[in-house]
Structure 1
Amino acid sequence: MILSKITELLNKTLTFLAGLILIVMVLLTCANIVFRMFWVPISGTYELMGFAGALLTAFALAYTQVKKGHISVDVLVNVFPQKVQWVLSAINNGMCFIFFMLAGWQLAIKANTLRTTGEVTETLRIIYYPFTYAVALGCVVLALILLTEFLRQIIPSEEVES
């Protein structure tokens, strides 16, 4: 399925970027600690870490879904027959797809507003909207992963894999 290949590529790209962002966060934290020892902290570290944390989280969402790393409480679901579990899983994936598409859409609208108003951070004067668009992208990629999982559940595997 083409959608599966596209989401896999997007997921790998965002995962790679998340890894780079994590490295930058570690380096920035270490550098700030060292410079604080000499009473010269890095200005805007709080802002930079906030942006980096938002990007890291958003970019890791899809990877975590693919690896089944999100927390799920299935105590109640496990008592049902396999067919009911399958239906509930499909419904869950469908509902989560809708939720994260809506979240991505609303974040993109918010980013447009931030772009229009020219909103910037207080210390470093960094514009907000590119980061908001990036978080929206993370939500949309997660939604596409959920859509792919939903389609795999409702379409026989021979048709999905071709």
Structure 2
Amino acid sequence: MVSALERISNKLNKWFTWIGGIALLTLTGIACANMLMRPIGSPLKGAYELVGFFGALVVALPLGYAQINHSHISVDILATRYSKRTKRIMDSISSVVCMAFFILVAWQSADYATAIWKRGETSETLRIIYYPFVYLVAFCCLLLSFVLLIDFLKSLVPSKGER
């Protein structure tokens, strides 16, 4: 069961990471075009807004993939002194706490997106509706929570050297 969930998670997170890469290229293109156009006296209108929106996507979209590959910073100064079983217990507790945190972040982000959708808010310069970006960030936090759930389930099974 865990391996099936892991396959789904890996495919979904790789796909989202590719979209994040496209967002990064777009963000870079907008920033460069704005820098080149500014000396001519015609900077890109709304470049600051677009860089902000795409920046949020660049950070949020690869969150799950980074967790799968353990690309996040982790401090394990104390954990190196413990047995494999104790480390596994600490990892499972950490996964549950982080999962709860990111579920909370997803919930509050979705709540905020719904509020700005109902108010009809748009960005200041380009008048872009931006609640879809906030919903996408919320979904990415849920996706990270899904990866953390898989990590938790995997931590429940002792490794071969631990038995």
Give distance in 2, aligned partners of 1:89 and 1:59: 24
User: Identity of counterpart residues, as a percentage?
Assistant: 41
Which residue matches 2:50? 48
Aligned residue number for residue 79 of structure 1 = 81
1:114 to 109, 113, 116: 116
Is 1:124 paired with 2:126?
Answer: yes
1:81-100 to structure 2, matched below 5 A, reads 81-100=83-102
Residue-pair matches, total: 157
Contact kept? 2:114, 2:131, Cα under 8 Å: yes
Structure 1: runs of 5 or more not aligned: 158-162
Indicate the RMSD between aligned Cα atoms, in angstroms.
1.3
After superposition, give the CA deviation of every residue in 1:51-88 in whole Å (9 maximum; x if it has no partner): 10001100021111111111111111212222111100
1:37 aligned counterpart, secondary structure: coil
Give TM-score scaled by structure 1 length.
0.92
Runs of 4+ in 1 over 2 A off after TM superposition: none
Equivalent in the alignment of 2:15: 13
Deviations 1:27-67 (A, max 9, x none): 11111111112110001111000010001100021111111
Counterpart CA distance in 2 for 1:103 and 1:9 is 23
Distance across 2 between alignment mates of 1:8 and 1:17: 14
Give the 3-state SS of the residue equivalent to 2:62 in structure 1.
helix
